[in-house]
Structure 1
Amino acid sequence: MGHLKERDITVIGGGIAGLTAALALSQRGAHVQVMERAEALRQLGAGIQISPNAGIVLETLGLGPALDKMSWRSDGVLLHDHAGRQVAALPLAARRPDLSFRFVHRARLVELLANAAENAGVTLTLNTEIEALPDAALVIGADGLHSRVREVLNGRRAPFFTGQTAWRALISDPEPDAYARVFMGSGRHLVSYRLPGDLRNIVAVMERPDWAEEGWSHPDDPENLRAAFARFGGPVPGWLSRLENVSKWGLFRHDVAERWHDGRRVIIGDAAHPTLPFLAQGAVLAIEDAWLLTEALDRIEDQQAALARFQALRAPRVTRIVEAANANARNYHLRGPARLVGHAGLRAISRFASERLMRGFDWIYDYDPTAERL
């Protein structure tokens, strides 16, 4: 170790991926500049889930106590049918009492990372539009779905519209609830969980043929979301009655990038492997990437070899998670007899073989990036 000391590194993108990488690199002695085109680090969206495979990275970076104060602990996931009846329970935290599952507001996490990065010596430059990639010894592209760095490395490729549109909203909700709840209906589903500050995060996805633009910042009429989920029961009608502001975006499937680096430029997070939001692993994978890229650069003296090792290590895991998220999109939206059979099977497994059901997620949550051997 020690190959990062005094190295100059430029990170493009001041989101979760870029700031986590900047913090980790700076803690190893690198001189890091983060270039962000926004005037301020205002993160759109709302809640995200931080499972243990990312939480352990943030804790190792020294952010554990602060993260605990700003997050809500999760006990696991409850699956419901569209009427609100419970189909299956995944008490993940009880199975892993030594690990933490957290709900956190994205903006608060970005704020925490930015403050920690600046305290570690990172230079954060805002309101900087990248016309051409910097001529630097190492440029890290953490610039998201429409990454300029990815385009330079791989060319421009159009994503595939999945035929699904998603809504995101926050509502006021003082009722304690330690579970992420998924309500599954025909051609649509809704996910909700509590956040600190008496808030509830809502993400609702519906299959529809009309195209919606990618991104989180497109406002929509709350009545459209209420109408799309009017037949849902349980707590959903009460939640939707409190909607005030709603964002809408189209869900697009992107391939995992074939080329992650060229020896001087490398991509991480959504720039390398955009993921549909059906396993709550998008931000988590970005945090894993940031840690393991730092490890590779610190442990392997030759930069080309370090970047090659990083891609070889990450590509199989992220590809598997992207594919699993794609499959979840189908499983949540079953119709007719397939839905009846699928939900009956989930009820039976949850009741009589819950351990088997949860073991299916071990490869995701039990992974420890900080223990990876490079």
Structure 2
Amino acid sequence: MQEEITIIGAGIGGLTLACALEKKGIGFQLYEQADSFEALGYGIQVSPNVVRVLWELGLQKQLEIISHRCLGFELRSFKSDKTLAKWQLDNELPYYQCRRADLHSLLFNAIQDKHRIHFAQRLQSYEKKGSQLSLDWQNSQPTTAKALVAADGVHSLVRRSLFPQYQAQYAGYAAYRAILPFQDRYSSLWGKATVWMGNNHHVVVYPNGNQRNSTSWLNLVLVVKDRNWNEQGWMIPAPKKAVAQAFVNQSEELNVILEDMVASAEPCFKWGLFIHQPLPYWSQGQVTLLGDAAHPMLPFQAQGAAMAIEDAYILAEYLANEKDIEKAFIKYQRTRIKRATKVQQVSRNNADIFHASGAKAAIRNFALDLVSRIAPNLLNQKTAWIYNYDIKTSC
């Protein structure tokens, strides 16, 4: 591949693609609408399928430095605090948890030629002119491109241009994010992700950061059914006292965390969760979609960023091995669309499992208890198709 690739969006997907292209000697120009590099976000789960990609990009040591290693999961009752299921992971590769901001910075710092990254560049429109694409920017003169990869997120302008009738549907859930400095009284939560599940509520907590090498944090995600329409954004301030009151429960441990959240100087943010129907295709001519621009998903499988990272690596592989850009885009789409769509669906299904009530909750709790006591490895087998995915053999 001799042509430069134009990437829109310097989020995790766009930065991963830039890293992968640079390692393969493929030129790129990366455009970001923010005025400067901003490492944003709270916790992120870096499952083995993602670790495999980051190791392939030569980031093994850097990833370990910023990460907490998750060894297993514990599911507990929101109502009684009873442990519903508990199991250890059995993957060959680590399962990490870190701050999204730290992973974002790691990828940004891995790019050698920062001159290829352009800030304060908001794409307004694009059109095909002959063999090239003409890109119109809000704050600068138009540019041309041979190929355009839209990694511009859930509100992707490029996706809207390809699918003008596309509409997201409010999923009926509000989610809250907070992060707290890790304290000794959270020590029982180290080495795992803990989930409290209850009627119309669920809470996820897990540590962020390597105790030996970096500051450690406790990531907190709270989700509740909410009929009210919520803006689809990550940074809507939420009143912490009201959030804590909405999640009062029977776990002394969780209530201490909620009290700490209220007392902390760290903010809490709210966002509405939306269902995005799978797209029929991602690629059209010299344009393709990547990450949330292609397959936005609910966070109930913790694979949104993971799918973007997989997308990026595989797209770079096809661009390196295929002379024709359009053929590379189609091959990328064929390889990725089925898997990403399946993860989208599983994430939607998990919403019902996490928030079950009444008889459905009783059946769920009984099944989890039975499986975790008799055959806990079945819980690992349920996610093996996600975590054991090998990007090296998928192309």
Q: Same fold per TM (> 0.5)? A: yes
For 1:232 and 1:10, the matched residues in 2 are separated by: 52
Assess, with a 3 A threshold, how the Cα gap between structure 1 residues 120 and 91 changes in structure 2: closer, same or farther.
farther
State the shift of 1:121 in Å. 6.1
State the shift of 1:50 in Å. 0.5
For 1:79 and 1:259, the matched residues in 2 are separated by: 37
365, 368, 371: which one aligns with 1:346: 368
1:151 aligns with 2:173: no
For 2:125 and 2:250, the matched residues in 1 are separated by: 49
Alignment of 1:101-180 (within 5 A): 101-117=95-111, 119-120=112-113, 123-133=116-126, 134=135, 135-175=144-184, 176=187, 177-180=190-193
1:241 aligns with 2:241: no
- Decide whether the 8 Å contact of 2:84 with 2:369 is kept in 1: yes
19, 23, 27: which one aligns with 2:23: 27
Alignment of 1:1-374 (within 5 A): 4=1, 6-82=2-78, 83-92=80-89, 95-96=90-91, 98-117=92-111, 119-120=112-113, 123-133=116-126, 134=135, 135-175=144-184, 176=187, 177-196=190-209, 197-243=215-261, 244=264, 245-372=267-394, 374=395
State the shift of 1:120 in Å. 5.0
Structure 2 counterpart of 1:172, one-letter code: P
For 1:129 and 1:58, the matched residues in 2 are separated by: 28
State the shift of 1:184 in Å. 0.1
Structure 1 counterpart of 2:83, one-letter code: Q
For 1:319 and 1:343, the matched residues in 2 are separated by: 28
* SS of 1:33 mapped into structure 2: strand
Deviates more, 1:314-323 or 1:172-181: 172-181
State the shift of 1:232 in Å. 4.2
State the shift of 1:45 in Å. 2.4
For 1:7 and 1:169, the matched residues in 2 are separated by: 43
- Decide whether the 8 Å contact of 1:23 with 1:120 is kept in 2: no
- Decide whether the 8 Å contact of 1:44 with 1:217 is kept in 2: no
- Decide whether the 8 Å contact of 1:9 with 1:139 is kept in 2: yes
* SS of 1:331 mapped into structure 2: helix
Structure 2 counterpart of 1:235, one-letter code: E
- Decide whether the 8 Å contact of 1:10 with 1:34 is kept in 2: yes
* SS of 2:125 mapped into structure 1: coil
Assess, with a 3 A threshold, how the Cα gap between structure 1 residues 127 and 327 changes in structure 2: closer, same or farther.
same
For 2:157 and 2:122, the matched residues in 1 are separated by: 11
State the shift of 1:231 in Å. 2.4
Deviates more, 1:205-214 or 1:256-265: 256-265
For 1:108 and 1:198, the matched residues in 2 are separated by: 12
* SS of 1:193 mapped into structure 2: strand
* SS of 1:235 mapped into structure 2: helix
State the shift of 1:91 in Å. 1.0
* SS of 2:284 mapped into structure 1: coil
Deviates more, 1:71-80 or 1:266-275: 71-80
For 1:75 and 1:247, the matched residues in 2 are separated by: 28
For 2:115 and 2:304, the matched residues in 1 are separated by: 24
Assess, with a 3 A threshold, how the Cα gap between structure 1 residues 156 and 147 changes in structure 2: closer, same or farther.
farther
Deviates more, 1:150-159 or 1:49-58: 150-159
Stretches of structure 2 lacking an aligned partner (at least 5 in a row)? 127-134, 136-143, 210-214
State the shift of 1:124 in Å. 0.9
**Which TM-score applies when normalising by structure 2?**
0.90
Assess, with a 3 A threshold, how the Cα gap between structure 1 residues 348 and 12 changes in structure 2: closer, same or farther.
same
Deviation per CA, 1:310-331: give whole Å up to 9, x if none. Answer: 1111111011111111111000
For 2:109 and 2:217, the matched residues in 1 are separated by: 24
For 1:37 and 1:280, the matched residues in 2 are separated by: 26
Structure 1 counterpart of 2:345, one-letter code: E
For 1:164 and 1:20, the matched residues in 2 are separated by: 30
* SS of 1:337 mapped into structure 2: helix
- Decide whether the 8 Å contact of 1:291 with 1:370 is kept in 2: no
Deviates more, 1:247-256 or 1:335-344: 335-344
Task: Provide the alpha-carbon RMSD of the alignment.
Answer: 1.3
For 1:120 and 1:70, the matched residues in 2 are separated by: 23
Deviation per CA, 1:24-44: give whole Å up to 9, x if none. Answer: 011111111110001122243
State the shift of 1:136 in Å. 0.7
Deviation per CA, 1:64-103: give whole Å up to 9, x if none. Answer: 10111011111021111113221112311xx12x311000
* SS of 1:206 mapped into structure 2: strand
Deviation per CA, 1:135-185: give whole Å up to 9, x if none. Answer: 310111000000011112222422110110000000122344011111001
